């Protein structure tokens, strides 16, 4: 016997003994397939049609009230709850004894008649019960549920059993992704899958995880984004593609960051970032409306309205509005650094105008963006994969969506000039050589692809976890990821 088994506590010991009693009585505590013909909620919803009829239902016992030779229990399945009524007169002593020994948490198959009690509770008058699974570990308390956030994340299965609202969050998450797929499928987009293990981690500015392939004796990176592979498909003529992608970034963990997270990336040939704006606001508004039944979401006392069209403001206009600096009038890096200094910001000697614009934006503007807002026109320095604006080549045809002070989406007209792209990679490689572990690596094959010719295209990435946080008003990303990344615990 292992040390753990010796230390097993009294409650579990008692349940183990009950388990053996069942076996001694010839009952398999871990039963077989049970063909239900209805669910708890279906009975609640259709009582008039089912009253007096025999039903078969399965689920977990969540409460038990004994009254001598009769008693009640609450049975929970995915749909909801229903009360069970047990009577020794109807079941006989042997079967009634099963009810007497029942533990909260046990999973049963029930056969019985639908009726309503004197107090009006829709119930099942149990005629037969079979054990589908004996529960050996006591569940958390029925009133307060499971509060300990660490346990909720580590043992999500318990969280899901006892905290019904958690189930709702993850059902909604599933529906969000399904509705996004529907939206894109209806418009002729093709869902594709691209490598999660990549020899070069590209498509975003982030530190990757590294892994190793033994047979090839080769290091591989877990993808930080699928972007460069999806654009290879645009080169290949697939024209409209998307991928619901898990990506991985080896960076800090916070209420808004999990090392693995889910994005939706969409690419459309012959389109541009303005087409992507319309796609973004229409798709997200449609998804919110279908999942939540309204385009307005109440979060932290704020009323967020997803109804299109969303506000559009250029990055420079936004900075002028919220930081009072007109970068359009500042032509050199020196002038830009002086302006940033006047805002009491720390400024590196080598900081360029484009980098400073981004920093001022993050420092002064992001916190002001509550309602869904497109911020467009990012400096080329911070947008190594985006097409330059025709009128002003120091800026790109790019936008980000901000809601509740958070970036939710990022999109641009895709850079399809292989010579410009190679120069931009070159600049990133230099930053890398200077110790910037997040700068892009050179991707010669991607350049090769562009050299064959990529049509102008619009590309879009939406943070699914963050969108689900908004739709479910969850304060932490860990509340919308079933098994968030945690340290291993002894």
Partner RNA sequence: GGGCCAUUAGCUCAGGUGGUAGAGCACCUGACUUUUAAUCAGGGUGUCGGAGGUUCGAAUCCUCCAUGGCUCACCA
Residues 84/75, Cβ–Cβ less than 8 Å: yes
| DSSP one-letter code for 51 | B
* Contact flag: residue 486 with RNA (CB under 7 A): yes
* Contact flag: residue 123 with RNA (CB under 7 A): yes
Partners of 58 in beta bridges: 109
The 3-state DSSP class for residue 460 equals strand
Which two three-digit tokens encode residue 127? Answer: 């005629």
* Contact flag: residue 337 with RNA (CB under 7 A): no
> CA–CA separation, 481 vs 479, rounded Å?
6
Contact segment (CB under 7 A) with RNA among 136-144, 182-190, 369-377, 426-434 equals 136-144
Q: Shortest approach of RNA to residue 488 CB, angstroms?
A: 7
* Contact flag: residue 347 with RNA (CB under 7 A): no
Instruction: Determine if the peptide bond prior to 309 is cis (ω within 30°).
Output: yes
Contact segment (CB under 7 A) with RNA among 85-93, 267-275, 289-297, 348-356 equals 85-93
The 3-state DSSP class for residue 241 equals strand
> CA–CA separation, 474 vs 465, rounded Å?
10
> Closest CB to RNA among 53 and 101?
101
> CA–CA separation, 396 vs 353, rounded Å?
14
> Closest CB to RNA among 296 and 486?
486
What number of other Cβ atoms are within 10 A of residue 368's Cβ? 13
Q: Shortest approach of RNA to residue 160 CB, angstroms?
A: 15
Q: Shortest approach of RNA to residue 146 CB, angstroms?
A: 5
* Contact flag: residue 254 with RNA (CB under 7 A): yes
* Contact flag: residue 407 with RNA (CB under 7 A): yes
Q: Shortest approach of RNA to residue 92 CB, angstroms?
A: 11
> CA–CA separation, 74 vs 85, rounded Å?
9
Q: Shortest approach of RNA to residue 410 CB, angstroms?
A: 6
* Contact flag: residue 83 with RNA (CB under 7 A): yes
> Distance of CA 27 to CAs 17, 107, 296, Å?
14, 14, 53
Provide the angle, in degrees to the nearest 10, between the axes of the packed helices 273-292 and 464-471. Answer: 40
Tell me the per-residue interface mask from 153 to 192 with RNA, x by CB under 7 A, - otherwise.
Answer: x---------------------------------------
Taking CB under 7 A as the criterion, the residue among 37, 47, 167, 255 binding RNA is 255
Tell me which residue of 52, 46, 60 sits closest to 115, measured CA to CA.
Answer: 52
Taking CB under 7 A as the criterion, the residue among 5, 35, 89, 349 binding RNA is 89
Taking CB under 7 A as the criterion, the residue among 87, 422, 427, 431 binding RNA is 87
> CA–CA separation, 106 vs 62, rounded Å?
8
The residues, any chain, with a CB within 8 Å of residue 345's CB and separated by 6 or more, are: 359, 360, 363
Taking CB under 7 A as the criterion, the residue among 146, 264, 279, 450 binding RNA is 146
Contact segment (CB under 7 A) with RNA among 68-76, 126-134, 331-339, 423-431 equals 68-76
Taking CB under 7 A as the criterion, the residue among 257, 312, 427, 431 binding RNA is 257
Q: According to CB under 7 A, which residues from 444 to 473 bind RNA?
A: 463, 465-466
Q: According to CB under 7 A, which residues from 408 to 447 bind RNA?
A: 408, 410, 438
For 115-131, give the DSSP string: EE-TT--EEEEEEEEEE
Residues 127/110, Cβ–Cβ less than 8 Å: no
* Binding residues with RNA: total (CB under 7 A): 77
* Contact flag: residue 10 with RNA (CB under 7 A): yes
Q: According to CB under 7 A, which residues from 387 to 406 bind RNA?
A: 406
* Contact flag: residue 67 with RNA (CB under 7 A): yes
């Amino acid at each position: 016997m292992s040390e753990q088994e010796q230390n097993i506590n009294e409650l579990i010991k008692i349940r183990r003994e009950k388990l053996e009693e069942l076996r001694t009585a010839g009952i398999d505590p871990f039963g077989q397939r049970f063909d239900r013909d209805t669910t708890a909620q279906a009975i609640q919803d259709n009582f008039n049609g089912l009253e007096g009829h025999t039903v078969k239902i399965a689920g977990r016992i969540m409460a038990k009230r004994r009254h001598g030779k009769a008693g009640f229990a609450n049975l929970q399945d995915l749909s909801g709850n229903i009360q069970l009524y047990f009577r020794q007169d109807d079941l006989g002593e042997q079967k009634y004894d099963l009810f007497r020994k029942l533990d909260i948490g046990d999973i049963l198959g029930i056969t019985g008649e639908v009726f309503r009690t004197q107090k009006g509770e829709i119930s099942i008058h149990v005629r037969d019960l079979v054990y589908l699974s004996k529960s050996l570990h006591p569940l958390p308390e029925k009133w307060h549920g499971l509060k300990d956030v660490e346990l909720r994340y580590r043992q999500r299965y318990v969280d899901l059993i006892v905290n019904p609202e958690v189930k709702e969050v993850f059902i909604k998450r599933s529906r969000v992704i399904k509705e996004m797929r529907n939206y894109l499928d209806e418009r002729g987009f093709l869902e594709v899958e691209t490598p999660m293990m990549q020899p070069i981690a590209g498509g975003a500015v982030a530190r990757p995880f590294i892994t190793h392939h033994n047979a090839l004796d080769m290091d591989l990176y877990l993808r930080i984004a699928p972007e460069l592979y999806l654009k290879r498909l645009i080169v290949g003529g697939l024209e409209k593609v998307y991928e619901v992608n898990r990506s991985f970034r080896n960076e800090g963990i916070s209420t808004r960051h999990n090392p693995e997270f889910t994005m939706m990336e969409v690419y459309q040939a012959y389109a541009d970032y303005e087409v992507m704006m319309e796609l973004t606001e229409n798709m997200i508004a449609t998804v919110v409306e279908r999942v939540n039944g309204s385009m307005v979401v109440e979060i932290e006392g704020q009323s967020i309205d997803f109804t299109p069209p969303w506000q559009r403001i250029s990055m420079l206009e936004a900075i002028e509005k919220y930081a009072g600096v007109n970068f359009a009038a500042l032509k050199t890096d020196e002038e830009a650094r002086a302006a940033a200094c006047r805002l009491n910001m720390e400024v590196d000697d080598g900081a360029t105008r484009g980098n400073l614009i981004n920093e001022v934006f993050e420092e002064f503007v992001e916190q002001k963006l509550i309602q869904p807002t497109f911020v467009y026109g990012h400096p080329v320095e911070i947008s190594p994969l985006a097409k330059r604006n025709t009128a002003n080549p120091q800026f790109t045809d790019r936008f980000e969506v901000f809601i509740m002070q958070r970036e939710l989406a990022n999109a641009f007209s895709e850079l399809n000039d292989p010579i410009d792209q190679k120069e931009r990679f070159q600049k990133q490689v230099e930053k890398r050589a200077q110790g910037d572990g997040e700068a892009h690596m050179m991707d010669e094959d991607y350049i090769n692809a562009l050299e064959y010719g990529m049509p102008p295209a619009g590309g879009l990435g939406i943070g699914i976890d963050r969108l689900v946080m908004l739709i479910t008003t969850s304060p932490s990303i860990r509340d919308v990821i079933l098994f968030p990344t945690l340290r291993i615990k002894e």
